[in-house]
Amino acid sequence: MIDHVPSAPPASRTYGPRSRLARTRAVTVALAVAAFALFILTMMVGSFYVPAWDVITSAFHLRDEPSVDFVVRDLRLPTATAAVAVGVALGVSGLLFQKLLGNPLASPDFVGISAGASMFAVTAIVLFGAGSTMISASALAGALTSAFIIYVLAWRDGISGYRFILIGIAVSQFMMSIIGYIVARAELYEARQAMTWLVGTVGQAGSTELRTLLGALLVLVPAALVLQRPLRVLELGDDTAKALGARVEISRLALIAVSIVLIGFATAVAGPIMFVALIAGPIAQRIVGHSGGGIVAAGLVGSIIVLGADLVAHHVVPVALPTGVITGIIGAPYLIWLLATVNREGRGG
């Protein structure tokens, strides 16, 4: 009689971590290719069409051709670069917030960070007639100030996700009411300028603000990757994290700081472009897998959303619109679906 020989374990079970790593890398590369394609497409289309190769050679200084260089480098490259940078900042910031607070509704859009930036920026526009640099600096200061207020109010021997979110929503509504009062008492021109900024659109900041955002990304995105391991420990809960030797509050404060500074710089450059931070992280987690980390993927998804929304806002709809209008149209149905799903699953608090 021939003895039964047990079959070998499935390959996916034997090489699970390796398979997940390969999937993460493949998805990240695919997202990077998609973002790069949209980046080039953004500089191709317009009143003056530029072929893709001419865009690449001009944008990367591979060849000099004055007529093409003026259109690509001077007119379109700053807007396309701002869309990529803002999208990366929003995507990474949103994912950090959601994973840190353990709630899919945790987004800087709703917990007062963007509202604080908006209140300070509108104040600078209406009361001081500020230029783009002053507006951007005011927005960054507002984001940091509102975050500090929320953190202090939410602190009770630690930070609870739901308490942070609820206090953030309350602070956001308070600041939005102040914005409404300031705009209502403003002159017509100042009110229109403030409302345009409040909707959010890429390409409205100057080169100094854009370079500052790019510099911040070069520092903060690697910092977020370094903090990814403490973040995974914090997701297990404070008690478990402390048992594993994690410095819970220091790690949480560092993660919150990275996320807030990212959203502050992004808002300073483009205004409060809504819903990108909310939807980029979950999309990245869905296609990468929850065990894959997803910080880089979230940033790339954010850039794809902003680039795509800006293309639609300027070249698809009959009348040119701010980028934030398109992201709002995309994000509002997702928020409704998310609220219904969270409520059914009993995670609504």
The two three-digit tokens of residue 246, written as one number: 């994690």
Residue 313 lies in a domain: yes
Residue 323 lies in a domain: yes
Q: Containing domain of residue 48, as a range?
A: 23-341
Residue 3 lies in a domain: no
CATH number at residue 178: 1.10.3470.10
Residue 184 lies in a domain: yes
Residue 13 lies in a domain: no
Residue 10 lies in a domain: no
pLDDT tens for the chain, residues 1 to 349: 444 444 444 444 444 567 777 888 889 999 999 999 999 999 999 888 999 999 999 999 998 899 899 999 999 999 999 999 999 999 999 999 888 888 777 788 778 888 999 999 999 999 888 887 888 889 989 999 998 999 888 887 767 667 888 899 899 999 999 999 999 988 888 888 888 888 888 877 778 889 999 999 999 999 999 988 888 888 877 778 778 777 877 888 899 889 989 998 998 899 899 899 999 998 998 888 765 568 999 999 999 999 999 999 999 988 888 999 999 998 888 888 877 776 555 554 4
- Judging by beta carbons within 10 Å of its beta carbon (0-12, 13-18, 19+), is residue 183 exposed, middle or buried? middle
Domain total for the chain? Answer: 1
Residues 6+ apart with CB under 8 A from 73: 58, 59
Residue 60 lies in a domain: yes
The two three-digit tokens of residue 131, written as one number: 């230029």
Residue 137 lies in a domain: yes
Burial 102-133 (b: 16+ CB within 10 A, else e): ebbbbbbbbbbbbbbbbbbbbbbbbeeebebe
Residue in 217, 254, 213 with CA at minimum distance from that of residue 233: 254
The two three-digit tokens of residue 118, written as one number: 């908006």
